[in-house]
């Protein structure tokens, strides 16, 4: 469910997403990124934050009133780039409603989280799309440095066959 802002009573599905519109929300997403990138993965500060933060659109996801995920969008002439996706590892709120019907899961984030989302989607039979990240040496499929294993055997190249895959097609989300 995507909303411009959370209503006072969010009902049984308390997960919602907002475009960051004020300094309090910007501080929340910076704190989330610090937790996810610096604390959880040990990434240095200058890799988690850069000069593009003040000229990008930021999105924050909430479970009730608790910020649990974020991403930034940088806009270019002909395309937009989604970057700095970060989700707290205990976040399962969006998935507990997956059995209610008319639901699809779309996720991007760290490999461990995507593997958990893949398993949940496959186990519950929920259509699930995953945006994978992988180091790419060539970027056009020649080197096979960005492969991911497929459920039916073989491999797919993230750079040319993806980066978005149906969860049911994947054997796993590798931790590149």
pLDDT score of 73: 92
Domain boundaries of the chain, sorted by first residue: 15-87, 103-169
In sequence order, which ranges of the chain are alpha helices (DSSP H)?
23-33, 45-48, 111-124, 158-161
Please give the Cα distance from 86 to 176 (Å, whole number). 17
Q: Which residue from 69, 60, 56 is spatially nearest to 19, judged by alpha carbons?
A: 60
Residue 61 CB neighbour total at 10 angstroms: 23
The residue ranking higher by pLDDT, 100 or 172, is 172
Tens-place pLDDT, residues 52-95:
888 999 999 888 888 888 999 999 988 888 888 888 765 555 56
Architecture of the domain delimited by 103-169: Ribbon (2.10)
Looking at the whole model, is its pTM more than 0.75? no
CATH number of 15-87: 3.40.630.30
């Amino acid at each position: 469910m995507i909303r411009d802002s959370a209503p006072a009573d969010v009902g049984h599905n308390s997960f919602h997403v907002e475009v960051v519109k004020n300094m309090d929300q910007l501080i929340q997403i910076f704190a989330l990124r610090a937790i996810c990138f610096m604390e959880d993965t040990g990434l240095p500060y200058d890799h988690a934050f850069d000069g593009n933060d003040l000229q990008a659109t930021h999105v924050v996801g909430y479970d009730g009133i608790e910020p649990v995920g974020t991403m930034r969008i940088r806009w270019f002439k002909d395309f937009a780039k989604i970057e700095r996706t970060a989700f707290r590892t205990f976040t399962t709120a969006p998935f507990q409603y997956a059995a209610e019907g008319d639901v699809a899961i779309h996720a991007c984030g760290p490999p461990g989280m995507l593997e958990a989302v893949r398993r949940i989607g496959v186990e519950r039979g929920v259509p699930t799309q995953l945006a994978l990240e992988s180091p790419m040496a060539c970027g056009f499929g020649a080197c096979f440095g960005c492969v991911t294993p497929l459920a039916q055997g073989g491999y797919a190249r993230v750079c040319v066959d993806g980066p978005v895959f149906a969860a049911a097609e994947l054997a796993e989300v590798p931790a590149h």
